[in-house]
Amino acid sequence: MAAPTVPPDGVYVPAPTFFKDRPEPPALQPAVDVDTQVAHSVHLARSGVTGLVLLGSTGEAVHMSAPERYDLVAGVRKGLDAAGFPGYPIMAGVLVNSIDETLDWLRESHKAGAQWGLVLAPGYFGAAASQENIVEWYTVVADQSPIPILIYNYPGVTNNLVVSIESYEKLAAHPNIVGCKMSHGNVSHHIQVSLHPKINHSQFRVFSGFGQQLGPIVVFDAGGVIDGLAAIFPRTVSRLFSLASRRPLDEATLQEVRRLQWKVSAAEEFIVKNGVLGIREAIYRVLGFGHLAGGRLPLRGAMSAGAYEQWGEVFGQMLEEEKKQ
């Protein structure tokens, strides 16, 4: 039996889910806008982004039904195929704590066309879940999953649960666990796992959820980033990755990495401050996809008046970079 496929290194976009601007009665919430989702996905693929993460935290999968999740992934897969991107990498988020329900999500995502599952650590009870039980939870899931999975550690939505280095070491040995996404600021954890001498790094890749860390972690053998800013400025973030991953890393290349990393890090502060609402609004204002009516409760609505305009200088610099790439 062939080993599970490891996701290629690079920049992945945790795509926000696009919703219609208003509910159609008797529906209580706006419907998923698959056409806009496809259009944005194709734009990203054409702009050099390595792959997509659908149904993640930014994608508000917790606000969607099972049929909606399936239709979104299937629709994007069909749209990418039709646009000339067959087999384009798609990770599907899994944001539930029940093992049975986690496997339901993975099976449906597999049928819809996703190649990997990005599985959130089960942190409803936070630190009360021991590292031993976290390892066993992921092992049971990986044993049964029809697609390879990545560990998704996002303490901000899992009651500050942090997967330990020792747990990563154990889980990286599982043949159906092919990587992780660390959505926290502990760069030491990124580097320790990326360089751990007991981990087979050709079969387990580390991705950060923060573009601010792209250059530093990729220099030390991380796989790349799953980064919200790339939903808005895909060419620039992808260019930064391609330079940081170049070997040997000569001084001229390193200088350009430093220049681009400074601009990306400055723009990433917008994502940190404004989250999903900010990403959706910036995509609309910069790329023209979506609208300003917002999405589903409780994240419906636009940013506060004048909030976007405060980033005019920073985003102006990013737009200039996009034109160069």
Positions annotated as catalytic residues are 152, 181
d(CA 97, CA 80): 31
User: What token pair was written down for 238?
Assistant: 């992808």
Task: Tell which residue, 299, 237, 257, has the closest CA to residue 274.
Answer: 299
Whether the ω angle into residue 298 lies within 30 degrees of 0, i.e. cis, is yes
User: What token pair was written down for 195?
Assistant: 């360089």
d(CA 33, CA 20): 6
Cβ burial of 256 (10 Å; 0-12, 13-18, 19+) is: middle
d(CA 52, CA 83): 15
- Cα–Cα distances (Å) from 165 to 37, 70, 124, 180, 302, in that order, read 36, 33, 21, 12, 39
- Cα–Cα distances (Å) from 199 to 58, 90, 95, 104, in that order, read 29, 24, 26, 29
User: What token pair was written down for 235?
Assistant: 């060419």
